[in-house]
Structure 1
Amino acid sequence: MSKVNIRSANEQDLDRCFEIESISYAGNEAATKEKILKRIQTYPEGFLVIENNIEIIGFINSGAAHKVELSNEEFKELIGHDPSGENIVIMSLVVHPEYQGKGMSGKLMNSFIAAMRKLGKKRIYLICQSELVDMYARYGFIYLGESDSDHGGLSWHEMSLSL
């Protein structure tokens, strides 16, 4: 694969990010185009895209808060987001299916962790499906337990990473 670039998202990235989100997540699990746009506009420093020389191939987005409640569905719309918050909540880490299994999510996650450290954040939180717990553990995330979230009608697991 050709060289990749990781950068902050902008509004021109909306359609491609929504396409990737829609292809990669089932049903109600995927964020709407409006939610993705709000995340880009509200917290661009917490929304990174990875692109090759042709197109965006994946992204990671988040919000910041002083107090984290991972089952809070309103936070996915950045209700309660505070850019000065010391905690980060990842909402999506997604790579287009054509580029999965090639280390792209690792490149994104490592860049994201470095960016959050540079911003002085203290901890990163996320919820994930059972099959992704081990992947996040490879980046240093600690398993916290099952989540009260029923986002998309699914069961989730909570994890965190101290920065």
Structure 2
Amino acid sequence: MSVLIRRVREGDWRGCCAVEAACFPPDEAAEPDSVAERIRVFPQGFYVAEDISGTDSVIAGMINSGATSRNDITDEAFKKLVGHDPDGRNMVVFSLSVRPEWQGQGIARQLMERFVLESRTQGKACVLLLCKDFHIGFYEKLGFAHCGLSASTHGGAAWHEMRMRL
């Protein structure tokens, strides 16, 4: 398998929606219109892992985000980019996801490494995200600090705040 990590393009929308649907339960997954809005409004915070080994390329994974100068990332409206400020000091990851059939091959790590590099290039101060408890160790290995349980109850789940200073 050969994977290319690159910035999202508008034509990637369907593939990104397929990744979202494959990786999240319906009450946690971003709606297709939200995915389209993230691609349109903030492509500089949206990267895909494209499997280019076959005759047809496939979006195997993605990372997408918004930017803000706020430290509180629990506002549900922010996931629809309400309050998004492209010049904000913090990048807030909405989703780092890899389709199940491509998991375990280092693609999520590659996506995050590219995302962190680009965030530094953009002069951001921190990368913030929320994750479930079973992902805390993964993010800690990537250099994130666990900041405790979040006030977010998105999708009825418990979420933990993670922070990486850049």
SS at match of 2:104: coil
Distance 1:68 1:13 in 2: 30
Structure 2 gaps of 5+ residues are: none
TM-score of the pair, normalised by structure 2: 0.96
- Corresponding pairs, count: 162
SS at match of 1:29: coil
Distance 1:137 1:73 in 2: 24
CA apart distance, 1:52: 1.6
CA apart distance, 1:8: 1.1
CA apart distance, 1:71: 1.2
Structure 1 gaps of 5+ residues are: none
SS at match of 1:28: coil
Pairing 1:126–2:125 present:
no
What is the root-mean-square deviation in Å for CA atoms of aligned residues?
Answer: 0.7
Query: Aligned residues: percent identity?
Result: 41
CA deviations on 1:33-69 (whole Å, 9 max, x unpaired) are 0000000011000000011212110000000001131
SS at match of 1:15: helix
Pairing 1:93–2:116 present:
no
Amino acid at match of 1:50: A
Determine the structure 1 residue equivalent to 2:68: 65
TM-score of the pair, normalised by structure 1: 0.97
SS at match of 1:26: coil
* Structure 1 runs (4+) greater than 2 angstroms displaced: none
Determine the structure 2 residue equivalent to 1:36: 35
Determine the structure 1 residue equivalent to 2:51: 52
